[in-house]
Amino acid sequence: MTLTPEESEILNNAIRDIPDFPKPGIVFKDISTLLNDAEAYGLLMEHLHKRYKAYKLDFVAGIDARGFIFGAALAQMLGIGFVPIRKKGKLPYTTVAEKYALEYGFDEVEIHIDAFRGIDKAKVLLIDDLVATGGTAFAAANLIDKSGGDCVEACFILGLDFLDGQKKLKDVTEVYTVIRVD
């Protein structure tokens, strides 16, 4: 299921471009304007609901922090649980962690050890706002599988096609991007 050209235009028009942020030469895609546009946000969430209702998912997992906005809402619409994937040290209970490389050094994401409530091979959708280089999402997808779940797909509102993040992710899970940016 894909968006119609009219739906794509509504969503694209709801996302603000901020030139030279966070540094010169970068055009930042600001989703806060999509979130405060009831029509655009509603259209996006209905699209995701229609796409994923046939997947028979057990959970939606969202990546800290903007993945929470879309993931929790979608999980509620699907009548299933939401699982937060957070940066190291932010979850209060026993966790499982996955490291990933940054340009200079490493970072880590974590999930509660009992996030999937004992459901073996729970079908999990991973969601976040944007995929660029794919490092965090790759680690999160691996973390879902390492924790006993099955990451059936990674979904992103925006995909930066000029970077290789989506290609990298296809090594571990299917990838769906609502809006592709060249």
131-163: pLDDT as tens digits: 999 999 999 999 999 999 999 999 999 999 999
Here the CATH number for the domain that contains residue 153 is: 3.40.50.2020
Domain count, the chain: 1
Burial of 61-70, coded b for 16+ CB within 10 Å and e otherwise, reads bbbbebbbbb
Q: State which residues form the domain around 47.
A: 5-181
Cis peptide bond upstream of 22, omega within 30: yes
CA 133 from centre of chain:
13
13-48: pLDDT as tens digits: 999 999 999 999 999 999 999 999 999 999 999 999
- Which DSSP helix (H) or strand (E) runs through 144? helix 135-146
Least Cα distance to 41 among 66, 82, 10 occurs for 10
